[in-house]
Every structure is written in structure tokens, then in C-alpha cells.
Amino acid sequence: KVFSRRELLHFDRWEKMLCSRWSNHLIRDVVFPNNFNCTRYLSSSLSLFHQKPKKIWRRGDIFLPVEKKDPSSSSVVSNSLLVRGGFIRKLGQGVHSMLPFGHRVMDRLKHIIVEELEAVGGQQVSLPLLHPRSLWDKTNRWEAAGQELFKVTDRHNSEHCLAPTHEEVITSIIGGSPPKRSALPILLFQIGKKFRDEIRPRFGVARGKEFEMLDLYSFDVSEEDTRKTYQVVSEAFQSIFRRMNLDVVVADAQSGNISDKPSQEFHVLSSSMGEDQIVHCEKCKYTANLEKAESKFIWGGVKIGVNGQNQLFVSKKGEETVLSDFEQLLNTGLKEGLQFSLVKGLSFYNATTNNKDNIVIVVVPQRRDPNFDKVTRLSGVSSSSHPFILFTATQPTDTDEFFSNMKKFNKKNISPLPVIIDQGVFLKEEGERKKGEEKVGWFGGETREVLVRVGDVQTAQNGDVCKKGGVSTVKKGIEIGHIFHLGTKYSSALGAIVKGPDTKPHPMDMGCYGIGVSRLMAAIVELNHDEKGMKWPFEVAPFKCAVVTVGKEERIHEEGEKITRLLMSLPELGDSVLLDDRNDSPGFKFTESELVGYPFVVVVGKSFQTSGEVEVWERSTGNKTLVLPEILNEFISEKIALLRKRQ
């Protein structure tokens, strides 16, 4: 067909032509060779043709060192597949290089993150990795971070750390240029490298010493405003993970040394790579990290109580026995199925006794584990020491050792003796006691007092009853995100001040939000693979579609290229189409395409020679369909829409 000049001027017709197969001949064979003429005749609305034709990515040109076997003999499937597929290479313990395919995946992950965070008002920054010690000293984190901090000294003998996080840097910047109240909230984020001297780097890029993270920091006028921002960012995180095809659970978590306010973790459940234990109740949807998870376990055996005369007693089947000394409590308890742990280094502060830095005794049932995090939360940590368990007595024969340890570390023989009793073991009086409330009691035979604190100090277990009567299950999760309400810890220390509604200066209220981007890559593979290899979700695949040719004939090569260009004209694919027209055997190329895990593979081979059809393979379902090139884009477009709907 010969087009009139008028027709050629209509851009929309050109677009239509691009989408049908026969016109591809025209575009390549006629229009481009006569490119110069076109530009002379056509208006600037056809600028498309001034551009260089889009480059075709050819498998043969790409550095993708695929291996038959995992050379690293990795313990987790995701790492093994990423290494075998040529996405990553290990340099040292916890240090990895991203090769072209790995890099492409990381780019896609980052792109999604940036899009979703900018949508809620986030602004991208780029902060240094080398931080002077003086800055970290201002928040006392140089020491608190301990051995996880990589420390380096420059030629002037000045100490620095390699950044594991950026609260100090970003807060000092805001402090240096205080914004007006009306400019808040401010949400600043970056995606970049971080360092952590992991005690045990493992699972490939999932837990490295050098890794890629998203970190976002929010600055608000008040705690109430931060709570709103926290919610907004939490929802943005969930959109991010949804687009990556990841089902996340949001778990209440411990904040560690970063803050004493609430925090939540985003986990994907994985029995193979999960390092965290997540307690989850299907009934009420309560989800928490095991360190934090509340549990309700009512111990059916002997219980401890304090009677109206303030005496300590044990109660068995309703029969109360007043205790004459601590030894009797220990012996009876051990015989009746309780365990006693001696913990050193907790502050257990009490206004009347000022009992700090002493030993604390923790009592839970023998078949339960004391939860050290909960114990620490209930009693506080002494500033001068790191808490640790000295000894745990679980049977009557342990009594002597228990006492020798107790004497060794309780030289001052401090009274009252601090005892933390799990709420399931304590006999409640009329009316529920307040959690953590203290009670002073004494033993009948001696005047020595005990300071009793009651609370939830056992580790949750599978089958525990939750607060609302549901049953908790413990599952393994991979932590891919963590959000914290920081409060004013950093803004006070670093002078990030804003005038409040009362016109007085207040430290800004802050939140911080992180996603482990390199870990995401591992988690996605861990959750999306089969025995043949990786199955990349559409949005994050290194290439969304591969065109694989079968046969060495020139015609097949040409058709492969045409089909590739046709697919590239589909907006959902764009330049994310790879042409594998290497002269290798079909089996070799198919095996590789399944290992690498393109969401779509289009085979131009035998059926093309006989019936003119190409074969479309869908990696997620394993379906293979013969499709005429005329309707190929329409077909794939529908499949993509289905994939997106599922997310």
C-alpha cells in the first residue's frame, strides 16, 4: 500500500501500524531506510522516526555467567539460584557483586520503591557512607552499636564509621536548616549501600555485611502527627510489597537500640530462609515477633502468691503453704515443675530500695522458655552492665549450684530479693493486678523481703491462647522491612527544633522506615521458584519476556528479530524484551530461560515453520500456547493484566 502524504501526517495511524506484524516490515524495510525523506515530509509530531530505533537486547551480548551447578554449595535455594543464574557473585563473607541481571532486578525494585514513596510525599536524597565519630557520640550510639559498627580511622587519626543507618546525619542536616512548622511533615529517603559487621553473614545477599537499603526519615511537629505519617508510610510499604508479589505480615516488634517507642516489622513467611519467629493468630490477626509476642499460658501446676499478711506462699490444688525461706520456695518450685533463672545486669529499679545492678530471679514453668527480651523490658537494663543469664535451675538437684551462683553474684546480700514471676504462675488475688506491678512480701520464717514483679515473661509457643481466645501459631519469617516511631531521641540530641503551636521551640518528632532491598531480591526468589529455576514476578523480572529462536536458518533469525520488535512495541514490555538467537541447542536455551525465570518466553521454531504460529510460555503457570503473531501482543497484554490483577 502506498500512503498519501495526509495519511503519513497522522501520527495515530503510524502507531497502529507499529502494532501489527506486516507493518513491521514497512517500518524496518521502507520507512527507516528512507528516514531522511520522511523527516523532510513529516511534521515534528513524527519525532518518533527521528529517534534511533530501539536497541534489541541480545542474549549473546549479555554477560550472564550461568552455571550448571551451584559453585558456592549454598544452604538456601535463593542464593544458589541467583549464583547459578549469573545474577550475583560472592566476593567475600557477606559481600556480593551484582552482575547485569542482578543489577536490573535491583533497579526495578528501587524504581517501585521510589514511585510509591514519592507518591506519599517522600523526597530522595543521597547521604554519605563515611560518618565522623563525633556525630555518633552525640547520640551515644558509637558505643551502643558495639561490634556491629565498622570503624575506620583516617590518616589524621580521626575515627569514622561506615554507615549502618543515617538517623544522625539526616537529623543534623534538618537541625542545621530548621524548617517552618508549616513545612512539616518532611519525608526524606535514600536507597543506597549500608554496612554492618554481621556476626554471621549468610543466605547470600539476604544477610550481608554490605547491603542495599531504603531508609526514610520523617520529621513532624508532634507525636500525634508522626503517628499519622507512620500510618501513611506503612501503607506505602504494603503497596510496594504488593507490586513485588510478596505477601507480607506486619508484626509488632522490638526496637532494639534505635528507639524505645513502638515499631513494626514486615515479614514474608518462609520456612526455608526465615530467621525470625513470627507469632500469628488467624482469628484476631494478632501478629508479633517472637521476642515481643504476648502469650497467655495458664500454668496448671503449683502457683506462687502473696497473702493478706504479706507472706509468700505456694498454692497446690487450693492448698496454701506459707514459705519459711527462699530455699523452700526453690525446692518446692523445682519439684513441682517450675524453673528459676538467675539474671545479672538488670536494673529492677524500685523507688524504696534503689536496687540496681543486682541479680534478679525469674520464675516460669519448666516446659516453657523464659523470654529474655520480655524480662528486660519488665525490669529495665542497668546502664553499667549487659544483662545475661547466670544459671537456670530446672530440677531439684540444681539447688546447690543455684545457691553458689547466687551467693557469688549477690555479695551484698541485698534485700529485698527481686523476683520476677510469670503471670501464669502467680496466683492472682481478687481483682486483676496491674501488669508489672510490684509487691513486697516476706517469708514466714525469716524477715528477708522479696520484691515480686509479675508479668508476661515466657516465650510464646505454638498453640498458646491469644488475648482474644484464638490460637497462636509460630512461623518463620524473613524480615524485609522495619518501621520505627523514634520520638525526639535524635532531634533533641542533634538540635532539630521546630516552633510548636505554643510558639515555643520543640524537638521535632521523628519516624524512620527501612526496607532491605538486596534482601528483597533473595526473598522474592526464595518464594518464587521451582525445581527448574527462578520465577520472577512480572514487575521485577530482569527481562519480562525472552524470544527464543529454534533453528539456524536465516529466516528464523529474521523472524526472531521481527517478533522481538513487535513485542517491544507493547508498552507493558518496552525494552524489557530479550532476543536469544544464539546458535546453541534448543534444549540448552530452554533450560537456561527457565533457570533465569523470564515471566514470558516466546519460541519461534517448528510451529512457526509449519503453521506460522509462535509458542508462548508462561513461567508462573507453566502454560504453553500457540499464538499467531498477528494477535501476539493482544494475547500477552491480557496475560500481563491477569498477572497484575493477582497482585
Binding residues for Zn ion, per CB under 5 A? 281, 283-284, 286, 466, 468, 470
Unique residue bearing C-alpha cell 531506510: 33
* 419 versus 466: smaller Cβ distance to Zn ion: 466
> Which is closer to Zn ion, CB of 286 or CB of 340?
286
Report d(CA 347, CA 358) in Å as an integer. 7
SS3 of 248-306? CEEEEECCHHHCCCCEEEEEEECCCCCCEEEEEECCCCCEEECCCCCCECCCCCCEEEE
Q: How far is the CB of 340 from Zn ion (least distance, A)?
A: 31
Nearer to Zn ion by Cβ, of 460 and 547: the residue is 460
State how far the Cα of 359 lies from the Cα of 175, in Å rounded to an integer.
42
Complex with Zn ion: residue 444 or 470, whichever CB lies closer: 470
Record the cell numbers describing residue 638, joined without a space. Answer: 491480557
Min separation Cβ 383 and Zn ion, Å: 37
Q: Which residue number, 264 or 341, has a Cβ lying nearer to Zn ion?
A: 264
Q: Could you give the residue ranges of the DSSP H alpha helices within 139-266?
A: 141-144, 167-176, 223-243
Between 281 and 546, whose beta carbon lies closer to Zn ion? 281
Q: Where are the beta strands (DSSP E) in 456-593?
A: 472-487, 497-499, 505-507, 509-516, 529-530, 533-534, 545-549, 577-580
Report in angstroms how near the CB of residue 371 gets to Zn ion at its nearest.
Answer: 19
User: Which one, 120 or 250, has the nearer CB to Zn ion?
Assistant: 250
Q: Which is nearer to Zn ion, 285 or 555 (CB)?
A: 285
Taking the complex as a whole, how short is the minimal distance between the CB of residue 284 and Zn ion, in angstroms? 3
For the CB of residue 470, give the shortest distance to Zn ion in the complex, in Å: 3
Q: What is the DSSP string of 392-461?
A: EE-SGGGHHHHHHHHHHH-TT--SSEEEEEETTTB---SSPPPTT-EEEEE-SSS--EEEEEEE--B---
Cβ distance to Zn ion smaller for residue 285 or 644: 285
Residue of 253, 260, 256, 248 whose CA lies nearest to 288: 253
Cβ proximity to Zn ion, 187 vs 288, nearer residue: 288
Give the separation between CA 396 and CA 596, rounded to whole angstroms.
Answer: 59
Cα atoms found within 13 Å of the Cα of residue 613, Cβ hemisphere only: 11
What is the nearest approach in angstroms of Zn ion to the Cβ of residue 485? 24
Give the residues across from 454 on adjacent strands.
Answer: 421
Nearest-Å Rg of the Cα atoms of the chain is 32
Nearer to Zn ion, 293 or 616 (CB): 293
Position of cell 519460541? 603
Min dist CB 464 to Zn ion, Å, is 10
Output the smallest distance, CB 299 to Zn ion, in A: 20
287-289 and 319-322 beta bridge pairing? unpaired
Which amino acid, 548? V
Sheet holding 303-306, edge to edge: 303-306, 312-316, 319-322
Nearer to Zn ion, 144 or 471 (CB): 471
Q: Least CB distance from residue 294 to Zn ion, whole Å?
A: 10
Nearer to Zn ion, 428 or 468 (CB): 468
58 SS3 class: strand
For the bound state, the minimum distance from the C-beta of residue 252 to Zn ion, rounded and expressed in Å, comes to 13
Q: Report phi then psi at 413, rounded to 5.
A: 55, 45
Residue 231, class by beta-carbon neighbours within 10 Å (0-12 exposed, 13-18 middle, 19+ buried)? exposed
Report the C-alpha gap between 254 and 204 in whole angstroms.
25
Shortest gap between Cβ of 281 and Zn ion (angstroms)?
3
Amino acid at 570: L
Burial (CB < 10 A; 0-12, 13-18, 19+), residue 60, is: exposed
Q: Compute the least distance from the CB of residue 282 to Zn ion, in Å.
A: 8
CA torsion sign for 287, 188, 126, 150 is negative
Q: Give the nearest distance from C-beta 587 to Zn ion in angstroms.
A: 52
- Measured from the CB of residue 466, what is the shortest distance to Zn ion in angstroms? 3
* Residue closer to Zn ion (CB basis): 472 or 593: 472
Q: Would you give the distance in Å from CA 580 to the centre of its chain?
A: 35
145: which DSSP letter? T
Taking alpha carbons only, the member of 583, 560, 587, 564 closest to residue 574 is: 564
